[in-house]
Amino acid sequence: MNIYLAYAEQAITQPVKCRMHAAELRATTHAQRAQEKALQERDELFARWKKQHKAQQAVFLAGPHHTEAAKLVAFLDTLTLDDGEALLACLRAGPWRHTDHNTRVTILQLIDGALVHLRECNGLPPFDDAIPFSDEENTVFHIIRQELEPC
């Protein structure tokens, strides 16, 4: 043991030790409160994000293409890992390429969420995108995104 630390421990009086300990507790408590506040803010933002996306999906399902939207959502609910070509066919059968930007974004969000959920349920990483400018084949999501580009 360091003799200087031992001497300092003996030289510091009990009231000073108590004040030092209280200061350490206050600092720890302040840091914990700041962390809890940050987590609470994150949770509130996530809840707002989820609420906004549910509203967007409701508008999408009640919009002018509600029949095709219902078919797409029903297909996404039954999607399997081997349904990439069927998903492309389902998407191509709808009027999505000629719709407004918000509708196309909502479709991409729905498809992305379904693909991520499907991959995670099958023990795969949520994303497995091709590296840009490489010889790798584009994923189904990339093909869909390209097809939904405005004319």
**Distance of alpha carbon 82 from alpha carbon 134, whole angstroms:** 24
Q: Are residues 99 and 126 in the same domain?
A: yes
**Distance of alpha carbon 73 from alpha carbon 53, whole angstroms:** 14
pLDDT digits (tens, 9 = 90+) for 60-73: 899 888 899 999 99
Give yes or no for residue 40 having a pLDDT over 90.
yes
Give yes or no for residue 130 having a pLDDT over 80.
no
pLDDT digits (tens, 9 = 90+) for 79-125: 898 888 999 998 888 888 888 888 899 999 999 999 999 999 999 88
Provide the H-helix boundaries in 2-137: 3-11, 14-62, 66-77, 84-93, 101-121
pLDDT score, position 102: 87
Q: Are residues 70 and 143 in the same domain?
A: yes
pLDDT score, position 151: 61
Domain that holds residue 125: 63-151
Q: Are residues 78 and 148 in the same domain?
A: yes
pLDDT score, position 33: 84
Our CA dihedral for 41, 44, 48, 53, rounded to 10 degrees, sits at 100
Q: Are residues 71 and 131 in the same domain?
A: yes
Answer whether residue 53 is part of any domain: no
Tokens read off for 3: 């003799």
Q: At what angle do helices 84-93 and 140-147 cross, to 10 degrees?
A: 10
Q: Are residues 69 and 35 in the same domain?
A: no
Do 62 and 92 contact (CB within 8 A), yes or no? no
Q: How many domains does the chain have?
A: 2
Give yes or no for residue 143 having a pLDDT over 80.
yes
Q: At what angle do helices 66-77 and 84-93 cross, to 10 degrees?
A: 170
pLDDT score, position 20: 85
